[in-house]
């Protein structure tokens, strides 16, 4: 997936963050349905999903209900638009992933962090709308992704009432500090021997530049490895795919 937009708005600036964020969200492609050429077998029962760059994304049935990931994500974020300080938006082959970070600072287990999410949606519904917990550790600048903690909805567009219910529950989940606290406590209990450490690094299959300099030592925990890896990924602005790979360490 390619990064198609990103932005950061410092809380002290008077810039209209809503305008900046919506401008970037509008870079997410819109999609349409196109008829399949008549020589194709059963063409009357099929449609192409095409993005606004005229790329064919998928072949679907004529009864397929088209929804726009751009509009869904805009609906989700709109109630919090003046609380968000940074965002990154990715797109590839009909799939959209968008990362948002709130400006509020929370604390748990002496870890100061800013709440954040990674939203994933797919125009073909290969993936349903899913929101992963993705906090930002203020002290070291690590972008975390805890995929075992997710909030999802199977949708055909959100009507106003359903959206209001969803947003209220989502906001309670987002500011729940126990997600990070429990993850931290569980991963600190997992002390790695050298063989396990090397096996994890090998299985992740990351390019070497994201693992160079990360060394095992006695008492090294899974949490320390996770923090070392996410620090590398964040500092080197790694593709979102690598953040997703490393996030599997949190599924304990």
Q: Tell me what pLDDT residue 160 has.
A: 58
Q: Tell me what pLDDT residue 78 has.
A: 86
Q: Tell me what pLDDT residue 203 has.
A: 96
Dist. CA 69–CA 186, nearest whole Å = 34
Dist. CA 216–CA 198, nearest whole Å = 8
- For the chain, domain boundaries: 2-177, 183-250
Chunked into runs of 10 residues, the chain (252 residues) has average pLDDT values of 91 75 95 85 83 92 88 87 93 94 94 94 80 91 90 58 70 88 96 97 96 96 97 95 95 78
Q: Tell me what pLDDT residue 190 has.
A: 97
Q: Tell me what pLDDT residue 41 has.
A: 64
Q: Tell me what pLDDT residue 128 has.
A: 73
Dist. CA 168–CA 161, nearest whole Å = 11
Q: What is the DSSP string of 182-221?
A: HHHHHHHH-BPPHHHHHHHHHHHT--GGGTTT----TT-B
Q: What is the DSSP letter of 37?
A: P
Dist. CA 150–CA 249, nearest whole Å = 15
Q: Tell me what pLDDT residue 45 has.
A: 85
Identify whether the C-beta of residue 229 lies closer than 8 Å to the C-beta of residue 246.
Answer: yes
């Amino acid at each position: 997936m390619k990064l198609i937009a990103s932005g950061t708005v410092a809380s002290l600036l008077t810039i209209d963050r809503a305008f900046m964020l919506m401008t970037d969200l509008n870079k997410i492609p819109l999609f349409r349905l196109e008829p399949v050429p008549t020589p194709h077998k059963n063409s009357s029962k099929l449609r192409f999903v095409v993005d606004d760059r005229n790329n064919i994304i998928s072949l679907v049935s004529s009864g397929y209900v088209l929804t726009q990931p751009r509009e869904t994500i805009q609906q989700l974020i709109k109630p919090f638009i003046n609380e968000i300080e940074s965002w990154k938006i990715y797109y590839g082959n009909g799939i959209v992933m968008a990362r948002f970070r709130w400006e509020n600072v929370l604390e748990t287990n002496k870890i100061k962090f800013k709440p954040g999410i990674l939203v994933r949606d797919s125009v073909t519904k290969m993936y349903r709308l899913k929101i992963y917990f993705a906090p930002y550790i203020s002290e070291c600048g690590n972008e975390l992704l805890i995929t075992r903690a997710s909030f999802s909805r199977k949708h055909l567009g959100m009507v106003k009432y359903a959206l209001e219910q969803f947003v209220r529950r989502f906001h309670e989940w987002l500011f729940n500090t126990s997600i990070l606290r429990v993850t931290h406590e569980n991963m600190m209990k997992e002390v790695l021997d050298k063989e396990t450490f090397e096996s994890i690094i090998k299985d992740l299959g990351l390019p070497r530049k994201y693992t160079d300099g990360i060394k095992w030592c006695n008492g090294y925990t899974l949490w320390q490895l996770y923090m070392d890896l996410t620090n590398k990924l964040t500092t080197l602005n790694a593709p979102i795919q690598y953040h997703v790979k490393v996030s599997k360490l949190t599924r304990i």
